[in-house]
Structure 1
């Protein structure tokens, strides 16, 4: 068993690029969002359409306005310059192309097919191997979207104790987080632009430096202003090590969104205030009565899963069920508004 790293393999230049101009000193007070005009929104979309026309639909008007309306780190009494917002969103779309995020749902569909079906349709063995590795990460049921918070933000759940002891394929694991994050974004009610992450941090695997670096870059570059809050419990020695490695590399605004708790009882109390259904939505692994494991079991196929939706491939994760359940909960939330 290897010892946890003392630091992540990143140069000073890479760290500076990650932290960027969005690093705030302790004690800074960040004001609320600033107004953005329709004309300014049109300018941003026109600039993005010039460089990334095929990806523009990925960014809703509400999200563009959310990014543009944030305070400027160099002078928090004013709004971000429009040029800065355009650059930030261009970097996002560039990262999506370079990371393969634009292809991840296609890879998921491929994992529903048998190897013979895939070959008949002209899929290479290398492409199918990618699909198999993505399916294997999904099949652990360690990451999924279920429900909303009180403001209509989708909730991404992490089950750290279900991760393999050593990350066998970092690229596939990163693709998993891209897939789940993009699904959460697609399930946002109108006007919602961010999501919540809740982590059951019991018995996580030892930190993989390359995975942590890739994940941090993805959060900062690929999902700016998307994370509302990360709630994590219990904070044992491994998770404390992970946070000690990551927090110094984060933009100040990101680090301030971490709610780290020592005990699961603290998490249970926090979730009662966070989740749309209050105490009724708290899962059993945090002391509540909502049984996530009937849909996302430790191993194999969930009790209420539509097996026919799996196809003939290697995928066992109930993606179709996750989509149907989330759509129903989204509709229920919107009816209450």
Structure 2
């Protein structure tokens, strides 16, 4: 007889949905087997790229840092790894990212947080009820505190923590994806100077039943909207639900992305975190048996109070301030 956990994951995914997702991801990813290494990118070339981005995306072009643009431009060319990517090719890849952001409304998501944090009698809320509804759905997805940035690694990479046990059983998929994009953007904007990627640590205790449409949309967002942003994802402990998720997503992933997922038991995860975290063992959270109390800043929704006159309870703006302080601390350490 199947266990309760096994019963939860008797989920079928339409083959057409999987085929469509695979085709979309494959179309975007053509650099899987490119050799590692970097080539020089001149100041003049950077200026050309910057100018074109500013022209095409005047409201969002500053989202891409110089360090990230340079990291994309300096890679070997997929068709001839002995030379650098042509500028036209780099522009095409960066344009795809920016177009994805535009199509998915990424640049406006933080404004939705402000809207939902204000009174429903505000002129913008009254005049745009559909926008207010979207804003409220977004902050409802934030309020459970299931995703947040906290701290950086010894290499200055911001750490995105996922608390699977806090995820809803019946999520609003669009709102959940929007919340993840919002949080991802916030962390990227707070990266220390010269850092271009981040680390994800998932507390995978008691995850809810998997929602394939959500997971597939997250994977597509990672490949299309955040290429080369994920450094590594550590998940612990690993039960049958996490195994189901990985079995679903692995066939869809580009090879180099699949290699960035580490599935460990809690003891092994803690040993890894000792090596990764900026303050070592002191930064391991209490939910992994460590000393750092994340719940002080990101408690369960029941213990949260509204941050403004609206429906936001998650400490979004405090999260940004703390991450900026961590980034500054790391930058100061590099000067020592």
Q: Residue deviations 1:145-196, cap 9 Å, x none?
A: 00001111111100001001122x1111011111110110111111111111
CA contact 2:9–2:210 (8 Å) conserved in 1: no
Following superposition, the deviation at residue 125 of structure 1 comes to 1.9
What is the SS of the residue equivalent to 2:170?
Answer: coil
Q: Residue deviations 1:272-319, cap 9 Å, x none?
A: 0111111000001111110101111123345xxxx68x1110111112
Q: Does 1:233 align with 2:236?
A: yes
Normalising by structure 2, report the TM-score: 0.90
Instruction: Detail structure 1 runs of 4+ shifted over 6 Å in the superposition.
Output: none
Following superposition, the deviation at residue 72 of structure 1 comes to 3.3
Following superposition, the deviation at residue 133 of structure 1 comes to 0.8
How many residues in Structure 1 have an aligned counterpart in Structure 2? Answer: 325
Following superposition, the deviation at residue 6 of structure 1 comes to 5.1
Paired with 1:314 and 1:8, the residues of 2 have a C-alpha distance of 38
Corresponding position of 1:205: 208
Superposition map of 1:9-24 within 5 A: 9-10=16-17, 12=19, 14-19=21-26, 20-24=29-33
Corresponding position of 1:280: 282
Corresponding position of 1:87: 92
Corresponding position of 2:154: 150
Following superposition, the deviation at residue 118 of structure 1 comes to 5.2
Corresponding position of 1:166: 170
Paired with 2:309 and 2:94, the residues of 1 have a C-alpha distance of 38
Moved more, 70-79 or 191-200: 70-79
Paired with 1:156 and 1:11, the residues of 2 have a C-alpha distance of 27
Q: Does 1:267 align with 2:269?
A: yes
Q: Residue deviations 1:56-77, cap 9 Å, x none?
A: 1111111100111223344444
Normalising by structure 1, report the TM-score: 0.90
1:289 alignment partner, one of 288, 291, 296: 291
Corresponding position of 2:311: 314
CA contact 2:153–2:276 (8 Å) conserved in 1: yes
Paired with 2:290 and 2:82, the residues of 1 have a C-alpha distance of 43
Paired with 2:318 and 2:218, the residues of 1 have a C-alpha distance of 26
Q: Does 1:141 align with 2:145?
A: yes
What is the SS of the residue equivalent to 1:111?
Answer: helix
Paired with 1:222 and 1:288, the residues of 2 have a C-alpha distance of 33
Corresponding position of 2:187: 184
CA contact 1:284–1:291 (8 Å) conserved in 2: yes
Following superposition, the deviation at residue 206 of structure 1 comes to 2.0
What is the Cα-based RMSD across aligned positions, in Å? 2.0
Q: Does 1:325 align with 2:322?
A: yes
Q: Structure 1 pair 165/117, CA: closer, same or farther in 2 (3 Å)? A: same
CA contact 1:197–1:231 (8 Å) conserved in 2: yes
Moved more, 44-53 or 153-162: 44-53
